[in-house]
Structure 1
Amino acid sequence: MTTAAGHPDTTTGAPVGAPVDLAAPWGGRSRYADLGGPVHWVDFGGPTEARDGVEAAAPPLVLVHGLGGSHLNWVGVAPALARHRRVVALDLVGFGLTPHEGRSSNVRDNAALVARFVREVVGEPAVLMGNSMGGMISLLVADRFPEVVEALVLVDASLPTPGVRPDRQVLLEFAVYATPFVGERYMQRNAARFTDRQRVLRTVAVCFADPSRADAAVVDAGVELAAWRRTLPGAERAFLGAARSLLRILRSGNRYPALITRVRQPTLLLHGELDKLVPVGAARATAESKPAWEREILAGVGHTPQLEVPDAVVARVEPWLASLPG
């Protein structure tokens, strides 16, 4: 259906030309919710009838992607996790199929969006499973809106890194993002210099310990999404706004560690041993400060285990979710 440029199709809420069927090969159905503007989310389904008491009581699972990510970051694990509970994934403001439209993309505002999504769309408290920036956002939600969070699964979450030396190239790149005008020019140059496929593969190279593990179908879907996002106004501004807000929290002294200390929900911490973006030492230090949390360090894995070794992630997450109180 054709509408004026920049305005959503009023029958679905989808922006014009949005490739809303990207998750269909993995059983995902695209939806839009009006939460102060259009927010795209994907319903991966769940059991239609409870086969036993554990399944009937299983809280829904909400998947929260990281910086530069989207609902596609979860297609490797969502179908398997949906066998025993409802599973949904949303695209944060300015990412995936959720347009920026002048809204704030910083992590605190996206945390408020996630809480509103759980209340108004999911309709009951949920387990939040967040990767990278999505892990930080999940922690912010658990602290600010504890009534909507049953438990947390943190997958290579953005965590405090005192005394832990990040990868040099990653450190330099985020220093560029943090610098006004320089970050904008850098993003514009990369958009002009690289094709959509090259940009997706560059991301895979950073996020995977072994890029050959990348699912070709997920890469192709990511390229299609990147091509559409190239047409959107404000995409670079949304990315930089989120990146800069993430860095402010990481550089906030003791505030972020104190927030983590306050979190009381059951938590499973998963982390790739070879993560270049969030060093594994950050996960180990956080786990030591939270002895009640369960943790698993995944050997030979990078920043996005749910894409690189999805079967291993499901094998660890599923029994932990099943052990949660109803």
Structure 2
Amino acid sequence: MTTLDHWGGTSLYADLDGPVHYVDFGGDGPTVVLVHGLGGSHLNWCLLAPHLVDRHRVLAVDLAGFGLTHPEGRSTTVPANARLLERFLAEVVGEPVALVGNSMGGMISILHAARRPETVTALALLDPALPLALGARLDPQVAAAFAAYTVPGLGAWFLAKSRAGVSTRRQVKRVLNMVCANAKTVPEEVILASMSLLEQRAEVPGLDEAFLTAARSVVWTGATSRRYYTAMSRVRVPVYLMAGEKDRLVPLASAREAARRNPSWRFEVLDGVGHVPQVEAPELVAGRIKDWLV
């Protein structure tokens, strides 16, 4: 066990056909489980979690291939990580939870809630990965990166080239500039923790392939929009969809379309926020979630 400085969480592992890392932030009340996005980890939640623990027990899980849950031969597709989340809830948590999912984690949370509704009490979606709405345009840099990820060989070359001669700080800042509307608001302690995690992961085999497999699966799930929208329609618990106005990865039009198709969902656009509201506006997001879950 390792206590995470600054955020008060305890780092733990569960054996779910291999080690699965998660952070228990403590707290009293109904359990909330936080599910990160593509390329993310438990660190994506370290600013949000402390604002939830006054009313909830808060856990953040690292999906297979991300954070400190190394692939070790396990699949990292969206369906595979949805199954991992199902086992985590059943074998580690053991009670129905409110799921909070960001990006790919939002997609996985939707699929899980549709398939196992008895395990979920509510679903908060922070800029979840969604089908591209008709007429919506992807950010050119995002489109180019995901196009590279989908091509065998090119994706691996693209990832290796993006790291060559680039410091860990620069790698972290580059990602933050992509996912945040204003990366300068991210605290230095988060940047340092992200650098440390990146350095830990540098020696782990198979991480690039794990990332590319997950990225391709996200693209495929979003592209099979009819099936994905059907899964959304089968979610029977309360849903709160938040969309960053300045999200470069999931166009706001896609969030509006998902909300239009699911009129029972609560929908809110967060002005001046990008793809990771829990990092850019943690107090605001936590306040919204707590008021909604009452």
Length-normalised TM-score, structure 2: 0.97
AA of the residue aligned to 1:179: V
Q: Between Structure 1 and Structure 2, whose CA radius of gyration is higher?
A: 1
Tell me if 1:199 matches 2:171. yes
Counterparts of 1:136 and 1:317, CA distance in 2: 18
Match of 1:161 in 2: 132
Counterparts of 1:311 and 1:282, CA distance in 2: 25
Quick one: which of 34, 51, 55 aligns to 2:15? 34
**How far off its partner does 1:188 sit?**
1.5
**How far off its partner does 1:312 sit?**
1.1
**How far off its partner does 1:24 sit?**
3.1
**How far off its partner does 1:253 sit?**
3.9
Counterparts of 1:115 and 1:253, CA distance in 2: 23
Q: Is the 8 A contact 1:274 1:301 kept in 2?
A: yes
Alignment of 1:50-65 (within 5 A): 58-65=29-36
Match of 1:145 in 2: 116
Q: CA separation of 1:29/1:180 partners in 2, compared to 1, >3 Å: closer, same or farther?
A: same
Quick one: which of 81, 84, 96 aligns to 2:55? 84
Q: CA RMSD in A?
A: 1.1
Gaps of 5+ in 1: 1-11, 13-19, 48-57
Counterparts of 1:191 and 1:145, CA distance in 2: 39
Tell me if 1:110 matches 2:91. no
Counterparts of 1:85 and 1:301, CA distance in 2: 25
Secondary structure, aligned partner of 1:100: coil
Match of 2:210 in 1: 238
Match of 1:294 in 2: 266
Secondary structure, aligned partner of 1:254: helix
**How far off its partner does 1:150 sit?**
1.2
Counterparts of 1:286 and 1:145, CA distance in 2: 20
Aligned-residue identity in percent: 48
Match of 1:318 in 2: 290
Match of 2:279 in 1: 307
* 1:160-212: CA deviation from partner (whole Å, max 9, x where unpaired): 11211111110111000111100011111222232211111001000110111
Counterparts of 1:197 and 1:105, CA distance in 2: 26
Q: Is the 8 A contact 2:129 2:250 kept in 1?
A: yes
Counterparts of 1:126 and 1:288, CA distance in 2: 26
Secondary structure, aligned partner of 2:43: helix
4+ long deviations beyond 2 Å: none
Q: Is the 8 A contact 1:59 1:150 kept in 2?
A: no
Tell me if 1:25 matches 2:6. yes
Counterparts of 1:264 and 1:180, CA distance in 2: 38
Match of 1:70 in 2: 41
Tell me if 1:211 matches 2:170. no
Tell me if 1:134 matches 2:134. no
Length-normalised TM-score, structure 1: 0.88
Secondary structure, aligned partner of 2:54: coil
Secondary structure, aligned partner of 1:156: strand
Tell me if 1:225 matches 2:225. no
Q: Is the 8 A contact 1:61 1:87 kept in 2?
A: yes
Match of 2:240 in 1: 268
Match of 1:101 in 2: 72
Counterparts of 1:80 and 1:311, CA distance in 2: 6
Counterparts of 1:34 and 1:315, CA distance in 2: 33
AA of the residue aligned to 2:9: G
> How many residue pairs were aligned?
293
Counterparts of 2:51 and 2:90, CA distance in 1: 24
Quick one: which of 219, 222, 238 aligns to 1:250? 222
Counterparts of 1:86 and 1:59, CA distance in 2: 6
Counterparts of 1:88 and 1:294, CA distance in 2: 23
